[in-house]
Structure 1
Amino acid sequence: MTITWQGHSCFLLEQDGFRIVTDPYTGVPGYPPLELEAHEVYCSHGHFDHNYTDAVRLLPKADSPFTVEEVDSFHDEKAGALRGGNTIRVFSAGGVRVCHLGDLGHPLSKQQLAAIGKCDVALVPVGGTYTVDAAGAKAVCDGLNPRCVVPMHYRHVPYGLETVTGVEDFLRLWPSAAVQRLPGNSFTYLPKEGGGECAPAVLVLKYPV
């Protein structure tokens, strides 16, 4: 599966020519307007920086190789009283499971971890204020134990919401050897042989390319 970061919390997932966009945004400082094409669009919640579906031109219907699982969560630590609900989604195709955590605002419960199950790639908000902060994001990763972690929803001047922090606080919580800074905003993840445990790699994608 090919995973491409479009900035903020927006990703393009591609498998066998089928394209999924999740959490398209508008009005996020620094980022130019999104112009994407996809067969399907998913939004974790109804805020402007996650649900701007007008940025995505829908392609003709096609058979999808993806299965999509949803897990209910909240945008804050008060059961949604502050910012409402948030939908975690696991996108599976080609033997790869990618978990997009949306604007998760609280630790994952045992029930939520069980519902998500094993994931290969976790797309995790790390900037705090509206989501879990660096320490909270690390705890979420420790619970999920994915093979690969991609941080999202953080400020990298001049891009991103001005009230969230950068990615460095999150990266400092990992062994330096685990952190890989890729030269671009896209990578292809192939299914791994065997089911053994391994320490996650943290992939920092580059925007813009």
Structure 2
Amino acid sequence: MIATCVGLSLTKPVAAAEPESCPGLIASRDTLFSRAALRQNEVGLTFVGHATFLIETPQGVRIATDYNDGTRPRVTPDVATMNKAHSTHFSYHPDPAIKYVLRGWNPAGDPVVHDLTVQDVRIRNVSTNIRSYGGATEYDGNSIFVFETAQLCIAHLGHLHHTLSPGHLKRLGRIDVLLVPVDGSYTLETFDMMEVLRAINAPLMIPMHFFGPSTLNRFLTSARDHFPVEFSDTAAITLSRATLPKSPKILVLPGH
């Protein structure tokens, strides 16, 4: 049941065709979803930890976001997405049973473009930039991955280091569920993250990438000036378009 941090300007122009508009709140569950448990219009979402979520589609496709060598779901996903900024967001040795490993950056330096359909889910990305360890800008080193299934668009911001340009927002299109890094330092400063959340304006926003209660509470203190905040008593929830909040809301899942 549901109970009651400085960003850098690293953006450069983004030009791409506008995607089709994405054609969901919440019934809590105590365990990872079984393939038979989801209805045709439902998506399972489990917060595994840090920046890793397990997404399950009605046809049973399993996706792990920011899959890495330390934080992994208990089941082998069909698809793993990764980002570059730190080793807690990618794996040197992904499980060979994973059918599709999608890296959010191109080692050659050019933007990476993913647009993959696996059964009932379309997976695409919008590239953003990151700071290198020396403070320089690495263009297109991060991807916002978008998962379109069951009439929902779920976006994972990855290791976002800057606010979004109109070009980024156009490429994202309509977002229903937004997975948000809220540490306020390693990614984007909280004030700038609020700008991103207001610009995307997703009905449901779920925090990730926080380091215990103090980091999370710092974010929530600022967020409450703009959005209502609720807490779930379980890390596993069911999403559907019909049950999305009528206005933007933050839902905190257990974990860190």
> How does the TM-score come out when normalised to structure 1?
0.80
2:45 maps to what in 1?
3
Give the Å deviation of 1:133. Answer: 2.2
Give the Å deviation of 1:193. Answer: 8.0
Q: Unpaired segments of 5 or more residues in structure 1?
A: 158-164
Q: Equivalent of 1:89, from 138, 145, 153?
A: 145
**Partners in 2 of 1:104 and 1:58 — Cα distance?**
29
**Partners in 2 of 1:127 and 1:43 — Cα distance?**
18
> Is the CA contact (8 Å cut-off) linking 1:76 and 1:106 kept in structure 2?
no
**Partners in 2 of 1:187 and 1:144 — Cα distance?**
22
2:124 maps to what in 1?
69
User: Residue 151 in 1 paired to residue 194 in 2?
Assistant: no
**Partners in 2 of 1:53 and 1:188 — Cα distance?**
31
Q: Deviations over 1:5-26 (max 9, x none)?
A: 1100001100021101110234
User: Residue 189 in 1 paired to residue 228 in 2?
Assistant: no
> Which segment drifts farther, 68-77 or 169-178?
169-178
Question: What does 1:59-138 align with in structure 2 at a 5 Å threshold?
Answer: 63-76=118-131, 81-82=136-137, 85-138=141-194
Q: Deviations over 1:51-89 (max 9, x none)?
A: 126464636799521101211101239xx8256611111
Q: Equivalent of 2:250, from 202, 206, 209?
A: 202
User: Identity of counterpart residues, as a percentage?
Assistant: 27
**Partners in 2 of 1:183 and 1:198 — Cα distance?**
21
**Partners in 2 of 1:12 and 1:65 — Cα distance?**
16
2:54 maps to what in 1?
12
Give the Å deviation of 1:175. Answer: 3.4
1:141 maps to what in 2?
197
**Partners in 2 of 1:116 and 1:76 — Cα distance?**
22
> Is the CA contact (8 Å cut-off) linking 1:35 and 1:55 kept in structure 2?
no
**Partners in 1 of 2:185 and 2:223 — Cα distance?**
21
**Partners in 1 of 2:99 and 2:170 — Cα distance?**
35
User: Residue 180 in 1 paired to residue 223 in 2?
Assistant: no
1:162 maps to what in 2?
none
Amino acid paired to 1:95: Q
Count of aligned residue pairs for this structure pair: 193
Q: Which has the higher contact order (CA 8 A, sep 6+)?
A: 2
Work out which of the two has the higher radius of gyration on C-alpha atoms and give 1 or 2. 2
Amino acid paired to 1:183: D
Give the Å deviation of 1:46. Answer: 5.8
1:161 maps to what in 2?
none
Amino acid paired to 2:129: F
* Residues 116 and 146 of structure 1, relative CA distance in 2, 3 Å threshold: same
User: Residue 52 in 1 paired to residue 91 in 2?
Assistant: yes
> Is the CA contact (8 Å cut-off) linking 2:66 and 2:90 kept in structure 1?
yes
**Partners in 2 of 1:131 and 1:36 — Cα distance?**
28
Q: Deviations over 1:115-168 (max 9, x none)?
A: 1111110001110222002222211110000010011111016xxxxxxx6111
**Partners in 1 of 2:209 and 2:251 — Cα distance?**
14
Question: What does 1:33-52 align with in structure 2 at a 5 Å threshold?
Answer: 35-45=74-84, 47-52=86-91
